[in-house]
Amino acid sequence: MSEQIVLQVNGESRTCSSHTPLPLFLEQLGMNPRLVAVEYNGEILHRQFWQQTEIQAGDRLEIVTIVGGG
C-alpha cells in the first residue's frame, strides 16, 4: 500500500499516494493532461518526461491550463 505524501500545487498543499505518475495525478486533480503545462520544482517539465515522473513528497508543481483564443 502506498503512503500518502504532501506536495505543493499552485501554492496549496495537496496529498496523493507516493510514486503516482504525473499524468495520473493531473487526472486526479480533474485536469486534462493534454491541456496543461507543468512546472516541476522550478523547471518546465517537457511532456515527453511526464509518464516517467513520479510525484515525491515535497515536490512543487505549478500547473497552468492552456487556453486558446486570440
Say what the pLDDT of residue 70 is: 62
Residue 21 is classified by DSSP as B
With 90 as the cut, is the pLDDT of residue 2 above it? no
Listed residue (29, 2, 5, 26) closest to 15, CA to CA: 5
Q: In what order do the strands lie in the sheet containing 43-44?
A: 12-17, 4-9, 60-65, 36-40, 43-44
With 80 as the cut, is the pLDDT of residue 59 above it? yes
Q: Express each pLDDT in 6-43 by its tens digit.
A: 999 999 999 999 999 999 999 999 999 899 999 999 99
What average pLDDT is seen over the chain? 93
Three-state secondary structure call for residue 17: strand
